[in-house]
Structure 1
Amino acid sequence: MLVKHQDPIAAIATAPGRGAVGIVRISGKDLVGLVRAVCGRELQPRQASYLPFRDAAGAIIDQGLAIFFPAPFSYTGEDVLELQAHGGQVVLQLLLARCLEAASAINTHNQKAVLSRLRLARPGEFTERAFLNDKIDLAQAEAIADLIDASTESAARSAARSLSGEFSLAVNTLLERLIHLRMLVEATLDFPEEDIDFLQKADASGQLLRLQESLDQVMQRASQGAILRDGIKVVIAGQPNAGKSSLLNALAGAELAIVTPVAGTTRDKVTQLIAIDGVPLHVVDTAGLREAQDEVEKIGIERAWAEIHSADAVLFLHDLMRYDNPNQPQDALNYIAADAEIMNLLRKNLPAKTPVIDVWNKADSALPEQLSLARTGVLISAKTGAGLDDLRASLLRVVGWQPATEGVFMARERHLQALAKVHEQLAKGAAQLHAVMPALDLLAEDLRQAQQHLGDITGQFTPDDLLGEIFSKFCIGK
């Protein structure tokens, strides 16, 4: 373990701001002396003690609860001291400073080098130590941050499943079966007289097939968890006055965007987080797409296209009232031509995997012949709310959400990439195994790489630079 991981660390473990309770947390080796200095006496392990917290001169900083968790029965696997005081920032800063001062004073008298290195914790360092001390694996550590950041109840439940070890168990089960298959292949290579008949008798082909099927199930659950974690970025696009801001307000159930009959009212993006069946959606209202002369509106349109290019799904809003208008036939033709040009640009600039949903608005006012134009897409009225349930269902369907999926666990993009690499290696291995002349050495290498990619998920083979990137995203004190 690196020296920096041997230093005792301290931090305020509650969020900034006023609160009823605030927590200062210390973790390190052999904190008994610090406990005695800060609390004035020894503490019973894992029992809350109500006592005064005093400064170096003996004056009371606050009164609260102190809990001591001796190693290895703590969150980090080291000695952990938690001081629960009133939640004012000044009080907590004084208490934190007292811990640092007490550690320094102890070492002045007793010459203990370890406590003298007590320092402020880096973001995520408590959880990093829990991982390094084998209290949790990497997938569980990431689930802690995901649980804190969860934006919907479904996301929180999914993160809790990963934290409890469901995702890790699924990955480790795959690992065990993969290692067993590797063992068979390696044994055949070590004892070539056994030849391919040995693998056939051991049903290596069937084992590999069942492993691939199990992997597909894990990938499905993980992909659903990734949707819950990251949410879906949905951009509302279309010409001015199609009803984009009204649609955002209708989906959000609040007047978030300004709505007027004046074309070009929306000059910049307006983003709102909403939930559909527990799935977080980042809905973005954008400026109307057209040839603009106003410099500010031009900038708004450029930003609209930037949002469209990064979208997970695009709602292309059409104004039914401006289609097939008998009173203004030329305007209708111009509007239809502009919509067609926008669709061409969407097809040209968007990745093929990004779905575009045609949304036909103002159904409450449209004529029958205008309604007949909405043969594809979703027919809605942002004004009355008609059709919004169909639109919500369509959105979830096109982004791959499957509400019937059982036991979704939280997953990140790196998890999906690792699982995809495992899938690729197993497919290569299957091709080798089923070849007329199987290349068992290549099959063994495919299985080895698949095992390594699976190990990346739980942290068995994870490099230090990736660990630093992961834990730096945590809040301080966690």
Structure 2
Amino acid sequence: MLPRHADPIVAIATAPGRGAVGIVRVSGKGLAGFVERLLGRKLNAREAHYLPFPDAAGQAIDRGLALFFPGPHSYTGEDVLELQAHGGPVVLQLLVARCMELAREALPQLRLAEPGEFTQRAFFNNKIDLAQAEAIADLIDASTEAAARSAGRSLSGAFSKEIHTLRDALIHLRMLVEATLDFPEEEIDFLKKADAAGQLERLQLQLGAVMQRAQQGALLREGIKVVIAGQPNAGKSSLLNALAGAELAIVTPIAGTTRDKVQQTIQIEGVPLHVIDTAGLRESDDEVEKIGIARAWEEIKAADAVLFLHDLTRMNDAGYVAVDAQIAAELAEQLHEKVPVIDVWNKTDAASVTAPAELQAGRMAQVRLSARTGDGLEELRRKLLEIAGWQSAPEGLYIARARHIAALREVDAHLMESAAQIHANSPALDLLAEELRLSQNALNTITGEFTSDDLLGVIFSSFCIGK
């Protein structure tokens, strides 16, 4: 359910915990009288005032800066009051409580804000579109510098501008088709004269370019899940530590040391990779280890990529090689065919062999390395970027979400159907018009010009309170 949009709202707008400064934000229509009652004086618009924040008895709760932004020239498009106080949780809660207390007389509908409601109001009041609203959350959550910069570009409207360009071209094409439908008796063939087929082809090319950049942007936001799998003591924990550059997992010569998953997010060229070290795969009678192995397979099944680690120092052990072959067969059975498996041949610093021929046959992705010395790690990082689909970041890359990619793919599917109709010997213009309409609807869901209330509720509920 979406919040009640007409109610004034209040919330703490800074992160939980102690800090040098904390902000309490109020948004609503006609706040001027409430502000004067709360602070005991009028505030000049968009001017910082240093003053006490009084309680009901006139005693100062704190002293700080108060700023008043009359709508529509504010973040939400409504009147906005910001109280910048010292960042103690109790102080900020007292300020919110004072606002709610005064509201009984001066602002009866005032209530606590829902998660993301300030940004949601900015969207409903046309201060930002939906893609820009999502970019605010992505900027806050960015785990790499590249992701933060790309989210900033989306917030500035770079992604939305591309979507609007596609939409305008699509609307023009729809206009031509609708004109042909509305005036069938005319001798002029509107579609051929206006080169509708050529316009559609150019539109598909533009869409392809946008999809490529959006997919790169989604990688910056989401990253990929990489699971390290293999037999005990193959060096899985050592590899995780080497990739992370820190001693995250316990490493010992004792087989079965890792009983549960250990996860770390690393970044390669700004792309976040969520790397998971799992329990060694083998037959075991130990109940705790059996649970760890079951969890390992759960992680493997949910992976975007798997690093299948082999111990080169045991390649002359027929039993070890046989178990590796069994794991390889189970990986092929359990994983979707599109999930890549990289064979990582570890311990090159201590081994005298490369790998048995029967295990190397047909392998598309292989890396030889030493997790202990770091030799070969760069090649592995390059392989990981390659399987993630990452290309060198183009200038002006913007952040994107999985739902944006899904919407663009839907647009692409409808345009392909449109192309089939427009090139047919006897085009069904009503079907062509419908495919183009559906294309525009899918495109509009990205910026929020055609979006269900349920989707908006899901998107904004993921924001923090006060944003």
TM-score where L is the length of structure 2? 0.97
Deviations, residues 145-168 of structure 1 (Å, cap 9, x unaligned): 111011110111111111110111
1:411 matches 2:400: yes
Letter in 1 for 2:113: A
- Report the Cα distance in structure 2 between the residues aligned to 1:69 and 1:317, rounded to whole angstroms: 59
Contact 2:142 2:221 survives alignment (8 Å) = yes
Partner Cα distance (1:153, 1:464) in 2:
33
The equivalences for 1:300-379 within 5 A come to: 300-323=292-315, 325=316, 332-368=317-353, 370=355, 377-379=366-368
* Offset from partner CA, 1:295-314 (integer Å, 9 cap, x none): 11110000001001111111
Indicate if the aligned counterparts of 1:45 and 1:68 stay in contact, CA closer than 8 A: yes
Corresponding residue of 1:36? 36
CA offset digits 1:146-195 (Å, max 9, x no partner) = 11011110111111111110111100100000000000011011111347
User: Partner of 1:263 in structure 2?
Assistant: 255
- Determine if contact 2:410/2:442 at 8 Å carries over to the other structure: yes
Where does residue 444 of structure 1 map in the other structure? 433
Q: Is the CA contact 2:312–2:354 (under 8 Å) kept in the aligned structure 1?
A: no
Matched, 1:206 2:191: no
Deviation at 1:105, TM superposition (A): 2.8
Match of 1:165 in 2: 157
- For residue 411 of structure 1, report the CA deviation from its aligned partner: 1.0
- Give the whole-Å Cα distance in 2 for the aligned partners of 1:196 and 1:360: 68
The CA distance in 2 between the partners of 1:296 and 1:368, in whole Å, is: 34
Are the equivalent residues in 1 in contact too, given 2:3–2:114 (CA < 8 A)?
A: no
SS at match of 2:87: coil
1:476 aligns with 2:465: yes
**Residues 111-134 of structure 1 deviation map (CA, whole Å, 9 limit, x = unaligned):** xxxx20101000000000000111
- Maintained 8 Å contact 1:274/1:281: yes
Q: How does 1:55-134 map to 2 (within 5 A)?
A: 55-106=55-106, 115-134=107-126
| Equivalence map 1:419-458=2 (5 Å) | 419-458=408-447
CA deviations over 1:205-240 (Å, ceiling 9, x no partner): 110000000000111111111111111111000111
Report the equivalent of 1:110: none
* Residues in 2 aligned to 1:348 and 1:13: alpha-carbon distance in whole angstroms: 49
- How far apart are 1:30 and its partner, in Å? 0.5
Unaligned ranges ≥5, structure 1: 107-114, 326-331
Corresponding residue for residue 135 of structure 1: 127
Contact 1:45–1:67 (8 Å) recurs in 2: yes
Identity of aligned residues (%): 70
Q: CA deviation at 1:404?
A: 3.9
Amino acid paired to 1:363 = T
1:227 has 2:212 as partner: no
- Secondary structure of the structure 2 residue equivalent to 1:5: coil
Contact 2:312 2:353 in 1 (8 A): no
The letter of the residue matching 1:403 is S
Q: Which residue does the alignment assign to 2:11?
A: 11
| Match of residue 175 from structure 2 | 183
Residue 21 of structure 2 aligns to which amino acid in structure 1?
V
1:284 is paired with a residue whose SS is strand
1:400 corresponds in structure 2 to: 389
8 Å Cα contact 2:217-2:397 kept in structure 1:
yes
Instruction: Please list every run of 5 or more consecutive structure 2 residues that lacks an aligned counterpart in the other structure.
Output: none
Letter in 1 for 2:389: G
Equivalent residues of 2:180, 2:189 under 8 A apart: no
Give the match's secondary structure for 2:185.
helix
